[in-house]
Amino acid sequence: MTPDPSRTVRVLYVEDAVDQALLVKAFFSAIGGFTVTHAQDGDAALKLVQSKPFEILVTDLNLPGADGFELIKAFRAKYRRMPILVTTGYTQAEYEEQALRAGADQVMIKPLNQSDFVTRVKAMAIASQAPEEDEPAVVLAIEGRLGDAEMGCGGTLMAEVAKGHTVVLVPICRSEQDATPEELKAATIAANILGVELRVDRTLFGDGEGHRDLIERTLNELRHTVVFMPARDDRDLSRRDAARVTEAAAAEVATVLAYETATTGLEFTPSRFNDVRAEMVLKMEALAAYQAVGAPRADLRPRMAQAYARYWGRYKDFTEVEAFEEVRGEEG
């Protein structure tokens, strides 16, 4: 497959070094079929991303003003499918990893080889012209204690799975006391019942910086469209930290919803209510796994989940629902 010769591909090219910019623009001229808009600093590039349509981003990392990583995130937030190529003089693997984590598709180390550059850009042009398809949503649920998401939004997560969407559950905890071996075993069983992917990372226990890095890596790997997190008004420190870190890390995600836990405060004011009658039996079965393996968490008792669902049901036809506070997103 080749790029459509009847139209040009719009490229945003960001590079502050004049000699490098002239070289790359010559590469594009030799290929033909590309309209290149050049910006010499990150701030100008950010304004262009918001004001004009582009199909490919080619950018350096070390830029005046906003750096390349910030630009990549902004472009990826606006254009989920469009390709991003990084050209950089940084040879350390950590910079390539960070660029890919931010949302780049490929990284090339300077000095650039024309043949390699042309091959990659042509492939990206083809990808940018692919017909738009209805992509399945990717849902991420963060919890500050194991079992929180199963309790707070387990039915909603199952409904997303039933639609063919990918659902990933990531726990982050302050210390090992927040996740016993029995609870980890129960969490695995519960995830299998719900049909979601449980990711227990090496940074399960750690500080806020490590947790934010974990969430950002997960978001950029799968480009999530919806994020669930504990309510911001929570009396439990681990859950409150999880909410704070998630909200910061998911700043570019269009829809972020907060769910209730056993320690959520009175400031929790939900505006979305999802009917989970069809999912309640399996949700209660998933929560029962904690008692079954010797992790008798009082805040995860199945009957408590049912009580929550019926309490919030008064806002939606007196049925069984899960309630969500809207952190970001259009009213649903």
The confidence score (pLDDT) of residue 130 equals: 67
| Element spanning 76, H or E | helix 68-78
Domain that holds residue 291: 138-328
Decide if 114 is inside a domain: yes
Same domain, 123 and 98: yes
Question: In this predicted model, what pLDDT tens digit does every residue of 15-73 receive, in sequence order?
Answer: 999 999 999 999 999 998 999 999 999 999 999 999 999 999 999 999 999 999 999 98
Residue 87 has pLDDT above 60, yes or no: yes
Name the token pair of 175.
């210390």
| pLDDT, mean of residues 118-135 | 78
Same domain, 91 and 32: yes
The confidence score (pLDDT) of residue 192 equals: 96
Domain count of the fold of the chain:
2
- Domain edge (last residue) among 128, 155, 185: 128
User: What percent of the chain stands above pLDDT 70?
Assistant: 91
Residue 23 CA: distances (Å) to CA of 38, 54, 67, 117: 12, 21, 21, 11
- Domain edge (last residue) among 88, 104, 128: 128
Same domain, 123 and 195: no
Same domain, 119 and 207: no
More confident residue, 116 or 177: 116
Please report where in the chains the tokens 């024309």 appear, as a residue: 114
Question: In this predicted model, what pLDDT tens digit does every residue of 278-328 receive, in sequence order?
Answer: 999 999 999 999 989 988 889 999 999 999 999 999 998 889 999 999 998
Same domain, 83 and 166: no
Residue 332 has pLDDT above 50, yes or no: no
The confidence score (pLDDT) of residue 20 equals: 95
Nearest to 110 by CA among 220, 27, 217, 12: 27
The confidence score (pLDDT) of residue 36 equals: 96
pLDDT band (50, 70, 90) for residue 132: low
pLDDT band (50, 70, 90) for residue 1: very low
Same domain, 193 and 212: yes
Distance in angstroms (rounded) separating the CA atoms of residues 36 and 13: 7
Decide if 2 is inside a domain: no
Rounded to the nearest integer, the mean pLDDT of the chain is 89
The confidence score (pLDDT) of residue 79 equals: 82
pLDDT band (50, 70, 90) for residue 4: low
Decide if 1 is inside a domain: no
Same domain, 97 and 176: no
Same domain, 107 and 159: no
CATH number of the domain that residue 25 is part of: 3.40.50.2300
201: left (phi over 0), alpha (psi -120 to 50) or beta: beta
Decide if 53 is inside a domain: yes
In this prediction the pTM is: 0.64
Distance in angstroms (rounded) separating the CA atoms of residues 98 and 89: 14
Same domain, 28 and 91: yes
Decide if 49 is inside a domain: yes
Cβ(72)–Cβ(101) under 8 Å?
no
Same domain, 228 and 273: yes
Same domain, 148 and 289: yes
- Domain edge (last residue) among 75, 96, 128: 128
CATH number of the domain that residue 250 is part of: 3.40.50.10320
| pLDDT, mean of residues 199-208 | 66
Please report where in the chains the tokens 């262009």 appear, as a residue: 48
Decide if 230 is inside a domain: yes
Decide if 4 is inside a domain: no
Torsion, Cα of 54, 225, 274, 198 (10° steps): 170
Beta strand pairing call for 84-88 and 106-109: parallel
Same domain, 260 and 204: yes
Decide if 3 is inside a domain: no
